[in-house]
Amino acid sequence: MIKALRNPSLWIAICLLASVWTASSPSLHAESSDEATRRLLEKSLSVIEIDKEISRIIGQQQALKLEISAMESKILLKESDIIQQQENAGQVLRAYYTGERDMMLRALLSFTSLSDLFTMMDYFDWIISRDKNTLNKYKAQYLDLKKDRDSILTEQQRLNEIEHNLVAQRSRVITLQQDIDRDMKGRSDSEQIRIMIEELTNFWQNIGLHEVKQYFSALSAAMQELPKWLNDNKQYLQFKGFEYTLRIPEDELNQFLRSQNDLFDNFAFRFEQGAIKVQGQRDGLNVEITGNYSIEEEPKNAIRFHVDELIFNGLALPDTTRRALEEEFDLGFYPQLIVNFVRAKSVEVTDGEMIVKLKVEL
């Protein structure tokens, strides 16, 4: 980390940013010129991140198109195979409908010896089994084909959603870029701002994103150990009948985090009414996260953390970055790892405390 900061161009970025922000805080001066500069840098950072999201969406789009094409080819082969099976099934049904199988029944009833009866029964059983197998085979192929057709419809809907998202993100980038170009016009320091934007881009891509991911990775690892810590600290768990109440104090949670990773020595959770705020600072880099917990049932009952706001050195990152980090790092925890046979029913954040209601479900 320190070695990376010795890169001269990145030091230039920090110095340029320092000329805009105060040394004591990542937030900007209240003056309108400083606020305008902050907005420009924030928009430029959003363009970088949304461009990455566009690349990811294009990758999804191409992969899904290939998948749909393969499914369509598979369906064509199955449709060809099922035509013959459909004809076979039709012959069987016509045989029963037109009375052809009645002749077999009359032959069975006109036996003259037990030997003839058993022979006819065996033959009759073979015919019935073959007919049943023909119909079952057609039914299975039909259902399989229907399943594939339903799947391709689902994938087509996904593709439509992806393409809609792609159009929306491209529109966002165009709007942001137009805003940046408009804001840059007429500024006497436009060249300096362009240098700041370029250096900020390098700084974010080489150090900033890595730093943010380090925080998220450390938090994710700590959350995996949280159930064990809660099991070792039963005083935070109260029960009444089939209901449990888990109360996690802010101070104790911070102590737990610091016991998990030295990174949290300059890092803190704050529980405020309805929101969780996390702030960390290291080597002149500042990360602020605001989010909330919610109960999710799929793929399994969990208390999931959602990032509502992510600020890096005073610059708010776009929703695409927040969503990507949520997908990459699991910051939630799972009640079943604390107490067997329980489900989380509610989660509430108050000043200084998080309260989770659990219920036993046998």
- Supply the Cα-derived Rg of the chain in whole angstroms: 33
pLDDT at residue 350 in the model: 93
Which amino acid belongs to residue 84?
Q
| Neighbour order of strands in the sheet with 315-316 | 267-272, 275-282, 285-296, 302-312, 315-316
Which amino acid belongs to residue 326?
E
Please state, in angstroms and rounded to a whole number, the distance separating the CA atoms of residues 324 and 321. Answer: 5
The model's pLDDT over 105-134, given as tens digits with 9 standing for 90+, comes to 555 556 565 565 556 556 566 666 776 777
Specify the CATH architecture of the domain 31-187.
Orthogonal Bundle (1.10)
The model's pLDDT over 276-330, given as tens digits with 9 standing for 90+, comes to 999 988 888 899 999 999 999 888 889 999 999 999 999 999 999 999 999 999 9
Q: Is the sign of the CA dihedral 214, 216, 219, 223 positive or negative?
A: negative
Please state, in angstroms and rounded to a whole number, the distance separating the CA atoms of residues 339 and 196. Answer: 52
The overall average pLDDT reported for the chain is 80
- For a pLDDT cut of 70, what percent of the chain falls above it? 76
Q: Which of 214, 263, 206 is nearest to 6 (CA)?
A: 206
Residue 334: both structure tokens together: 């799972």
Long-range pairs for 18-23 at CB < 8 Å and ≥24 separation? Answer: 20/196, 21/313, 21/314
The model's pLDDT over 269-290, given as tens digits with 9 standing for 90+, comes to 899 988 999 998 888 889 999 9
Q: What is the pTM of this model?
A: 0.70
Please state, in angstroms and rounded to a whole number, the distance separating the CA atoms of residues 279 and 237. Answer: 27
pLDDT at residue 153 in the model: 87
Compare 271 and 241 and report the one with higher pLDDT: 271
- For a pLDDT cut of 90, what percent of the chain falls above it? 31
> CB-based contacts of 269: which residues, under 8 Å, 6+ apart?
250, 253, 254, 257, 276, 277, 278
Write out the DSSP string of 259-316.
Answer: HH-GGGGGEEEEEETTEEEEEEEETTEEEEEEEEEEEE-SSS-EEEEEEEEEEETTEE
- Residue 358 near residue 339, CB atoms below 8 Å: yes
pLDDT at residue 94 in the model: 57
Q: How far is the first Cα of the chain from the last one, in angstroms, to the nearest whole number?
A: 50
Three-state DSSP class for 1? coil
Q: Where are the domains of the chain?
A: 31-187, 212-360
Q: Which of 212, 217, 215, 218 is nearest to 317 (CA)?
A: 212
Task: Give the relative orientation of helices 190-203 and 8-18 as an angle to the nearest 10 degrees.
Answer: 120
Q: Which of 85, 94, 87, 93 is nearest to 144 (CA)?
A: 85
Antiparallel, parallel or unpaired: β 237-240 and 342-350 = unpaired
Which amino acid belongs to residue 267?
F
